[in-house]
Amino acid sequence: MTALYTLTDLSKRYTRGRESITIFEELNMTIEQGEFIAIMGPSGSGKTTLLNLLGGIDRPSTGSVECEGVRVDKLSEGNLARWRSANVGFIFQFYNLMETLSAAQNVELPLLLTNLSPKERKRRVRTALEIVGIEDRAGHRPAQLSGGQQQRVGIARAIVADPKVLLADEPTGDLDRSTADEVLETLQLLNKEMNKTIVMVTHDPAAAGYASKELHLDKGRFVAKENA
């Protein structure tokens, strides 16, 4: 496999008043293309911070985040936005759908940043909704959908621009067990059938079981565990 991400000597510190808080220090890791990684760890261990650094929505205090040879941590705000729209799909715990837009319109949002024709955008939206099995709810607004359906729309939005990597922050944290399993099966499908690299932060060991690799982050260090 080829390395998609290389994190070298990564540190993240926050300053709260006069106090400096270290989240992790000199963290090194590689994420291979096509991996499905579950990152687990206690609250405050830096799981979400790590995800933010991978997605280029936060910058490290020191060290580097490299994705396919691109120093993500060095990109300007404008280039970072462009890089995110082309390479990363985000899946949130609370879905973060636009309440005024229909499911299809929510999925179409990332495509507004492309030069695709309206017809092509519609086609891609339909395909994305079909992949997550929610095409029959295309015209519904988020408030008219269940939690599981909203998360499927969130996943469709994440994959519609065909990014290389999906970053999921507690994607099943707001769902019941059976709905969570359905969502996780969808993620597994995207990983196995469409070769999407997925990095998922979760507290749930059952959810982590769907990943090909589990990383436990504790006190700024990783402990890896390969899943069957």
For the sheet with 221-226, list strands across it.
Answer: 88-91, 165-169, 197-201, 36-40, 213-218, 221-226
The residue from 20, 100, 146, 195 that contacts other proteins (CB under 8 A) is 100
Q: For residue 207, which amino acid is it?
A: A
Q: Which two tokens stand for residue 51?
A: 């995800």
78 contacts other proteins (rule: CB under 8 A): yes
Q: What's 210's DSSP letter?
A: T
Would you call 204 helix, strand, or coil by DSSP? coil
12 contacts other proteins (rule: CB under 8 A): no
The residue from 70, 75, 109, 189 that contacts other proteins (CB under 8 A) is 109
Q: Which stretch binds other proteins (CB under 8 A): 19-27, 52-60, 130-138, 185-193?
A: 52-60
Q: Closest distance between other proteins and the C-beta of residue 100, in Å?
A: 4
CA 41, 166, 57 angle in degrees (round to 5)?
A: 75
61 contacts other proteins (rule: CB under 8 A): no
Q: Between 118 and 226, whose beta carbon lies closer to other proteins? A: 118
- CA dist., res. 210 & res. 197, Å (int): 13
The site for other proteins, by CB under 8 A, has a size of 27
Are the beta carbons of 12 and 61 closer than 8 angstroms? yes
58 contacts other proteins (rule: CB under 8 A): yes
108 contacts other proteins (rule: CB under 8 A): yes
Q: Which stretch binds other proteins (CB under 8 A): 20-28, 34-42, 54-62, 188-196?
A: 54-62
- Rounding to the nearest 10 degrees, give the CA dihedral for residues 218, 53, 105, 173: 10
Q: Closest distance between other proteins and the C-beta of residue 158, in Å?
A: 9
63 contacts other proteins (rule: CB under 8 A): no
- CA dist., res. 186 & res. 132, Å (int): 6
Residues that bind other proteins (CB under 8 A): 52, 55, 57-58, 77-78, 81-82, 84-86, 90, 92, 96, 98-101, 105, 108-110, 112-113, 118, 121, 157
